[in-house]
Amino acid sequence: MEEAQRQLLQRSRVRLVEKLQVEPLWDLLVHREIFTQDMIEEIQRAGTRRDQARQLITDLQTRGKAALPTFIWCLRKTGQEDLAILLSEGCNRPQLQPVHIESNVVHSHAGQIDPGVETSEYLPSPAQERFQEPSCETTEGPVEKRTSRNDDMVYVLNSDPCGYCLIINNVTFSKESGLSTRTGSDVDCKRLEERFGSLHFQVLTRRNLTRQEIIRELQQLAGQDHRSLDCCLVVILSHGCQTRHNQFPGGILGTDGKPIAVEKIVSCFDGSHCPPLRGKPKLFFIQACGGEQKDRGFEVEVDPSVNQQHGSTLDSDATPFQIAAGDSDQPDAIAILPTPSDILVSYSTFPGFVSWRDKSSGSWYVETLDDILGKFARSEDLLVMLTRVQNSISAKDKYKQMPGNFNFLRKKFFFKAR
């Protein structure tokens, strides 16, 4: 679907959710090959009629160029002429040109398909060549696009704010935990508050949370009304540890020294626990150690100017933590997740290795991430920028650090940069 068509659906979203009768549409949408039966059943599981309407509008934006004209046709076939007019008037050509076709279906009162009726309609059958649909440019003029974007493979961010950004910043840990103060983490936190605020996120910051408090904050965020938002972002700045895992390695520690597996953090926002975010990108940035190994790297020919000497100000977020076999927290580390989709977890370091933080300037990872976002968020997608982060950090200091990510996004993600 073209960007102008997506924006038209977004502008009409409130009216569509309020008025759209979804039940009569299902068979027509399957017959016209806009959705498969499995896709329809997934939308139907969204909940109430309004929830199904929201999900239908969201999923419709992921379909091809013919999706919107076909949807308008389906609205007319099901007697929802006012909504059809609403969407048609958003296009340069207010009506699709009628094409005389041999159609196998008409719509019955029960929303089923009746065979064997010849009619003149606005849409050919799937077996025929697709019609020439309107460009759906708005009356405000063409929508500016980045040349690197492929419309069908880019997440749509039209809402403002585009989503919530929760930053959990653990600096001071309990005496009983035996963990050091994370000096420099407040610098990281301030950077990210400003950066993600400028990228149209509603930023929520929480400081010095125990394990249970972190879980509560994550659950509260997952329970927020995300229906009118387009994505969600979580940042965790804390000490870290290794855990057993199925998909997402590593864990972070609350200020009481108790671990939370990254898998558990991510699962709070999956399709089972947070249906309003289904199909929308969910991004996680973890500044914490993945273990205790210190990477000294290997020798290559490099420009010595790229190495920085931090001296005694350099610290790590590693902690000598091991989970006992009978520990009651162990299920958190091995929780089985549904098949992940629309999820990206960015780690500050390779699993098993420490993550370096300067006591005065903050962590290497956050400092570099903030710099790259500032320079390239207007032109590059997230994965390209994270590759830049990895390349930059890999050249630092006598100790080495290699960030990475687990990517389950289905499309490219571009921030909503000002």
Distance between CA atoms of 259 and 200, rounded to whole angstroms? Answer: 31
d(CA 94, CA 191): 47
Are 260 and 268 a contacting pair, CB within 8 Å? Answer: no
Q: What distance in Å separates the CA atoms of residue 32 and residue 39, rounded to the nearest whole number?
A: 13
Q: Classify strands 343-347 and 282-287 as parallel, antiparallel or unpaired.
A: parallel
- 189, 239, 268, 274: which is the annotated catalytic residue? 239
The kind and range of the H/E element at 305 are: none
Backbone angle region of 284, left / alpha / beta, with phi > 0 → left and psi within -120 to 50 → alpha: beta
First to last CA, the chain: 24
Among the listed residues 80, 58, 68, the one whose alpha carbon sits nearest the alpha carbon of residue 134: 68
Q: What is the helix, strand, coil percentage profile of the chain, to 5? A: 35, 15, 50
Three-state DSSP at 208 gives coil
Structure token pair of residue 294: 């210190």
Burial of 153 from C-beta contacts in 10 A (0-12 / 13-18 / 19+): exposed
Scanning the structure block, which residue is given the tokens 């697709």? 130
Residue tagged active-site, from 91, 189, 241, 289: 289
* Beta-bridge partners for 169: 207, 237
Q: From CA 314, how far away is CA 357, in angstroms rounded?
A: 6
Separation of alpha carbons 51 and 370, rounded Å: 36
How far apart (Å, rounded) are the C-alpha atoms in residues 311 and 77? Answer: 72
Query: ω into residue 281 within 30 of 0, thus cis?
Result: no
SS3 250: coil
Residue 225's contacts (CB-CB under 8 Å, 6 or more residues apart) are: 276
Helix (H) or strand (E) holding 259: strand 259-261
Beta bridge partners of 251: 241, 261
Tokens of 335: 């929780």
Tell me whether residue 289 is one of the annotated catalytic residues.
yes
Which of the residues are catalytic?
239, 289
